[in-house]
Structure 1
Amino acid sequence: MKHAKSSGGTKANLLFRQAYEYIVTRMDRGEWQAHDKLPSIRLLAQELQVHRLTVFRAYQLLKQNERAYVKEKSGYYVSPCKSEEQALNEHEESPRSLTASSVLKNALSEIQQIPVKYQFSQALIDPNLLPNLFLSEHVKQVFDIYPKLMGTYSSAQGDEELREYLCRYMVRHHHLRLTVSDILITTGGQQAIDLISRIYIRPMDPVLVERPTYSAALDIFRQQGARLVPVEITPNGYDLAAVEKLMQKHKPRIFYMNPTFHNPTGYTVPAAQRKLLVELAERYRCLLIEDDAIHEMYLDQPPPQPMLTYDTEGWVVYLRSFSKYVAPGLRICAVMGGPSVIKPLITAKSLADNGTPLVNQKMFLHYFESARIQQHLEKLRIALQIRKEIVEEELASTGWHWISPQGGFNLWLRLPDFIPVDRLLEECLRHSVSFVPGVICDPLKEMQSWIRLSYSFVNEEHLRDGVRRLVDIAGRYGPQPQ
């Protein structure tokens, strides 16, 4: 009992310090200036969805650090004096350092690290579908071209030759207004999300996220102390009127989205909505983080143009990954955006690792631009179509619900309510079958009956056997008697 009390106290302590930092951040951004009246304790508690005592403790700390003062029977006001840095230097405990002490978590990675025969939790291409012999031959050619390749670093922004190629590629395919200086190379899309979150998110900052969405992104935002504001995504995209209301109410710093062959649902947001979303972002000064990891993996028609196509004011950051279907081990992502975004990201990248390995970048450049790999993409699409159809065929008699995606690697399945997904996952793992429980993709953690099943990583024979095994295990859970 004592341990539980201590845990609750730790959480409350963390919350009031996050509330403190949220207020200080808004002061530092100039949203609340000297002698402005701060919101009442009741109103701020409602906005942050915390107890009023939490806000009271945050205001008391502001007063203690001389960031706020009190007017009798009027409330709290912004002090015109010290900066946050000065205030922290005078106290041993930094609220920011304490909020960073929460436990790191990546729920998706924990599932994927469990060795199983039927790996349905990995949204990656089956290595046997990649032209591995061609890649190995290609490596030798790259070292012949750059004999000193292993003897130097890349720049923090990324290899200029690679950025020049990607700039030409994006302009040719998407008619973007893009220059080489508008591109940063990161070690995979997840690093890009992490760097962006470190720059733009402070504790209690509201962040719009799709519901459901990529679970690792949710864990990254939670680690920064963000308040996650869900936006429902459907087969027809978003309710833009609802999105506008959320932007009006919460004034979010960013909206993280995955509008093309969405992870985990497979939905694709239509072109008309993309243009309107960029207009909303400009109007409400909300940065759109467009995560596009599998753009070329369409099964029928190519997807709509990226939102970056419609951006003229610098409110879209476009994350274009290539590694998942070209060479996953190279971990290459191109981050594209205006100078106001790319410049701080270069600094953050230099602090993180001083640049993605140059070897990886040169290998990717000469591999991706080859005629062989471009022809191979068409073969990959056919292979994915076959694998998706195998899974749908095996699931046809279950009564489970899903909408067949037009691209990507995943099926988003709704199971009957009487099947406990948490227990199902435990039992499946014991039988060497993995999948992603939908609850970890839900910012509200309520989607208990959904699962993500990735059909891209397992070969056709194992795919059929593994899905049958999953269906058989799920069949052991019957509806509860009335």
Structure 2
Amino acid sequence: MTNKPLIEPQKKQAHLTVDSSSAQPQSKHSFQTVYTYIQTRIQRGDWQAHAKLPSVRQLAEDTGMHRLTIFKAYQHLKEDGHVYARDKSGYYVQPPALQVLTNEAELGLPLFQGNLGELHRIEANYQFSKALITPNLLPNHYFAEYVKQVFDLYPKLLGTYATAQGDLELREMLQRYFTKTSQFHVHADEILITTGAQQAISLIAEVWIRPGDHVLIESPAYASALDVFEQKGAKLVLVNIDANGYDLVQIEQAMQKYKPRFFYLNPTFHNPTGVCISAEQRKQLVDLAAQYKCLLIEDDTCQDIYFDQKPPLPLFAYDTEGYTIYIRSFSKYVSPGLRMACIVARPEWFTPLLAAKSLADGGTPLLNQKVFLLYFTSNRLQQHIEKLRIALRIRLEIMEEELSSTGWYYESPQGGFNLWVRLPDHISVPELLARCLKQSISFVPGSLFDRHETSQQYIRLCFSFASEQEIRTGIQQLVAIAKDMESNSSE
């Protein structure tokens, strides 16, 4: 890995011109000019997957064509699968979900080229791509009991909207919870309830990113965060994370040079690597943030999913200057169906976030908040989490046991849901994924987490969604497919 920050290069903009010698620039074929122009730029890579395209009005002004002509071109591009539309937002580049292998086309296998969400939508018997807990490990019967209790306690619940900031009773409970477990003091007015961590990331991007802004982010990093920041037009400055944590010199140099809007990081059982940053590095990061007035966006989804000892306190607990915004998700291990998370921020950062949340959905569903409140404060939850840690550790050990004979490199995580595995250079990860998907085995290629090429030989294997037997059988099959590839390449 290089220690130099990397910024995504800007593409040189091309311009659409209309043949002025044409006697009928608005002829029935003029929309084809726009169609061809956009299609060509997409194909040559000027606009990447999910990039926002020029608006109908902008293209009409640039070309002198009628807006209906531009609209017709976009409609044809949409019908042909080159672009997709978002309501009240515009048109975006449609990523190719599948692409035929070019160097080994004789295999007849499709090469996956989509994003993480598209990969998750592919059904698989051996599911190692989803960093979620299988419903079989959740106390579903107890959930049903608590839902009934909620309606006894709050009989008018379904006829009531939640406030945009979130239920006060829930925020006061979280206030006490953070004081007790994370040793930081926060007022209920500094807590914003969100519909999952993904919404929290989107709200922060909406508030603080403008096209061209620099954003520090780990390499590798949570794939969906990368997509959100790029869609907002951010220039990503990548900083390395490995088994030793961060290169703090690299981070300080990046803060000095780029004056980034913020540094988005996942220091506790990092996704995808599983790394847990030391308390000492957390303190140093907080000091750097204060020195260079750089916001730290701390994404914490696995604080309670540890195997031996608790992780260090969140960055927010060490921050006395108020430069940390804390995202805490409970979705993955309390109840994924409730999509419960929160943002904790000091008053100077809080107001724009609340305004963005108000515009986004007016408030997370009140029913979800009350069910979560009742269950989260129960003794059953703590019993459930203890059992869950044991079950996940057993699944990790089974996965590592089945990989032990391969010689593949990985660091055993001390918590979380993922095993970050480096494959030998002679194994093509895209081809391995194509072969595995054909056999109903799914994993995530490292390229989805990295805008460098340093993670191309890595794969993320999630041990939380499959059963113990599915892990054993599925990993055995994955290893067999990889060995078959190696045998064929050596012939």
Q: TM-score range by the shorter chain?
A: 0.7 to 0.9
Partner of 2:390, secondary structure, is helix
1:138-158 Cα deviation digits (max 9, x unpaired): 110111000111111110001
- Contact 1:387 1:456 (8 Å CA) reproduced: yes
Amino acid at match of 2:93: V
Question: 1:448 Cα shift?
Answer: 1.4
- More helix per residue: 1 or 2? 1
Instruction: Measure, in 2, the Cα distance between the counterparts of 1:396 and 1:218.
Output: 32
1:399-424 Cα deviation digits (max 9, x unpaired): 11000000000000000111111111
Equivalences for 1:357-368 in 2 at 5 Å?
357-368=365-376
Equivalences for 1:228-267 in 2 at 5 Å?
228-267=236-275
Instruction: Measure, in 1, the Cα distance between the counterparts of 2:353 and 2:94.
Output: 22
Match of 2:137 in 1: 129
- Contact 1:183 1:337 (8 Å CA) reproduced: yes
Match of 2:198 in 1: 190
1:400 to 395, 408, 417: 408
1:91-121 Cα deviation digits (max 9, x unpaired): xxxxxx9996433777111000011111111
- Contact 1:104 1:223 (8 Å CA) reproduced: no
Whether 2:403 is the aligned partner of 1:391: answer no
Match of 1:277 in 2: 285
Gaps of 5+ in 1: 19-60, 62-96
Partner of 1:255, secondary structure, is strand
Instruction: Measure, in 1, the Cα distance between the counterparts of 2:202 and 2:140.
Output: 30
Instruction: Measure, in 2, the Cα distance between the counterparts of 1:161 and 1:445.
Output: 47
Question: 1:341 Cα shift?
Answer: 1.8
Count, aligned residues = 403
- Classify 1:104/1:140 alpha carbon distance in 2 versus 1 (closer, same or farther; 3 Å): farther
Match of 2:92 in 1: 102
- Contact 1:213 1:263 (8 Å CA) reproduced: yes
Whether 2:381 is the aligned partner of 1:373: answer yes
Instruction: Measure, in 1, the Cα distance between the counterparts of 2:472 and 2:466.
Output: 9
1:33-56 Cα deviation digits (max 9, x unpaired): xxxxxxxxxxxxxxxxxxxxxxxx
Instruction: Measure, in 1, the Cα distance between the counterparts of 2:88 and 2:308.
Output: 50
Amino acid at match of 1:148: K
Whether 2:371 is the aligned partner of 1:341: answer no
- Contact 1:418 1:477 (8 Å CA) reproduced: no
Partner of 1:453, secondary structure, is strand
2:443 to 419, 423, 435: 435
- Classify 1:467/1:347 alpha carbon distance in 2 versus 1 (closer, same or farther; 3 Å): same
Instruction: Measure, in 2, the Cα distance between the counterparts of 1:314 and 1:297.
Output: 27
Instruction: Measure, in 2, the Cα distance between the counterparts of 1:170 and 1:427.
Output: 46
Instruction: Measure, in 1, the Cα distance between the counterparts of 2:441 and 2:157.
Output: 41
Partner of 1:372, secondary structure, is helix
- Contact 2:47 2:93 (8 Å CA) reproduced: no
Whether 2:299 is the aligned partner of 1:291: answer yes
Match of 1:322 in 2: 330
Instruction: Measure, in 1, the Cα distance between the counterparts of 2:88 and 2:209.
Output: 16
1:6-55 Cα deviation digits (max 9, x unpaired): 4465799879xx9xxxxxxxxxxxxxxxxxxxxxxxxxxxxxxxxxxxxx
- Contact 2:165 2:354 (8 Å CA) reproduced: yes
- TM-score w.r.t. structure 1 length? 0.80
1:359-408 Cα deviation digits (max 9, x unpaired): 00000000011001112111111001100000000000011100000000
Instruction: Measure, in 2, the Cα distance between the counterparts of 1:165 and 1:418.
Output: 53
The sequence identity of aligned pairs, in percent, is 54
- Contact 1:266 1:408 (8 Å CA) reproduced: yes
- Classify 1:412/1:4 alpha carbon distance in 2 versus 1 (closer, same or farther; 3 Å): farther
Measured on the aligned residues, the alpha-carbon RMSD in Å equals: 2.4
1:343-367 Cα deviation digits (max 9, x unpaired): 1111101111100000000000000
Amino acid at match of 2:334: V
Amino acid at match of 2:164: A
Instruction: Measure, in 2, the Cα distance between the counterparts of 1:318 and 1:351.
Output: 21
Instruction: Measure, in 1, the Cα distance between the counterparts of 2:250 and 2:370.
Output: 44
Question: 1:313 Cα shift?
Answer: 2.2
Question: 1:166 Cα shift?
Answer: 0.4
1:411 to 415, 419, 429: 419
- Classify 1:467/1:4 alpha carbon distance in 2 versus 1 (closer, same or farther; 3 Å): farther
1:214 to 188, 209, 222: 222
Match of 2:276 in 1: 268
Whether 2:350 is the aligned partner of 1:350: answer no
Instruction: Measure, in 2, the Cα distance between the counterparts of 1:228 and 1:325.
Output: 30
Instruction: Measure, in 1, the Cα distance between the counterparts of 2:39 and 2:374.
Output: 53
Instruction: Measure, in 2, the Cα distance between the counterparts of 1:340 and 1:421.
Output: 45
Amino acid at match of 1:259: P
Equivalences for 1:49-60 in 2 at 5 Å?
none
Amino acid at match of 2:375: Y
2:209 to 201, 207, 213: 201
- Classify 1:199/1:379 alpha carbon distance in 2 versus 1 (closer, same or farther; 3 Å): same
Instruction: Measure, in 1, the Cα distance between the counterparts of 2:211 and 2:89.
Output: 8
Question: 1:471 Cα shift?
Answer: 0.8
Partner of 1:124, secondary structure, is coil
Whether 2:464 is the aligned partner of 1:456: answer yes
- Contact 1:259 1:292 (8 Å CA) reproduced: yes
- Classify 1:183/1:125 alpha carbon distance in 2 versus 1 (closer, same or farther; 3 Å): same
Amino acid at match of 2:347: P
Match of 2:309 in 1: 301
Question: 1:248 Cα shift?
Answer: 0.6
Instruction: Measure, in 2, the Cα distance between the counterparts of 1:476 and 1:448.
Output: 20
- Contact 1:102 1:223 (8 Å CA) reproduced: no
- Contact 2:183 2:313 (8 Å CA) reproduced: no
- Classify 1:5/1:390 alpha carbon distance in 2 versus 1 (closer, same or farther; 3 Å): same
- Classify 1:312/1:8 alpha carbon distance in 2 versus 1 (closer, same or farther; 3 Å): farther
Partner of 2:333, secondary structure, is helix
Question: Bigger shift: 441-450 or 349-358?
Answer: 441-450
Partner of 2:184, secondary structure, is coil
Instruction: Measure, in 1, the Cα distance between the counterparts of 2:456 and 2:41.
Output: 28
Equivalences for 1:149-188 in 2 at 5 Å?
149-188=157-196
- Contact 1:201 1:224 (8 Å CA) reproduced: yes
- Contact 1:14 1:99 (8 Å CA) reproduced: no
Partner of 2:354, secondary structure, is helix
Question: Bigger shift: 421-430 or 154-163?
Answer: 421-430
Amino acid at match of 2:224: A
- TM-score w.r.t. structure 2 length? 0.78
- Contact 2:165 2:191 (8 Å CA) reproduced: yes
Partner of 1:233, secondary structure, is strand
Instruction: Measure, in 1, the Cα distance between the counterparts of 2:132 and 2:283.
Output: 30
Partner of 2:332, secondary structure, is helix
Instruction: Measure, in 1, the Cα distance between the counterparts of 2:423 and 2:445.
Output: 11
